[in-house]
Amino acid sequence: MKITKNSVILDTENMVHGCLEQGGVCGKKERYDLAAVMAATEMTADELADAGEDDLCECYDHLTIREVIEHHCTPVTIRRGHIIQ
């Protein structure tokens, strides 16, 4: 997860046991509006910068920050990525 001036960028790589997953996606990048992410996660920009995307979100039980962002915010695809054969 990368925080820029007005957005949050999520990279997607499907990994299993440290290796790329067959049939998974590698290199997909999506951009989310920072204000929408802050509203959905109830976190400030500084808290998001310090947290990892796999950390649990305090406002939702048992959901990671990434899951909350993907469920509540609309992405803009930067790069579609490649499907691993």
Tokens of 22: 């067959």
Q: Is 29 left (phi over 0), alpha (psi -120 to 50) or beta?
A: beta
pLDDT tens string, the chain, 85 residues long: the values are 899 999 999 988 877 787 777 777 788 899 999 999 999 999 999 999 999 889 999 888 889 999 999 999 999 999 888 877 7
Residue 8: domain span: 2-83
Q: Is 48 left (phi over 0), alpha (psi -120 to 50) or beta?
A: alpha
What local confidence, expressed as pLDDT, does residue 50 receive? Answer: 93
Asked whether the whole model's pTM tops 0.75, one would answer: yes
* Alpha-carbon torsion angle 59, 33, 44, 66, nearest 10: 40
* Count of structural domains, the chain: 1
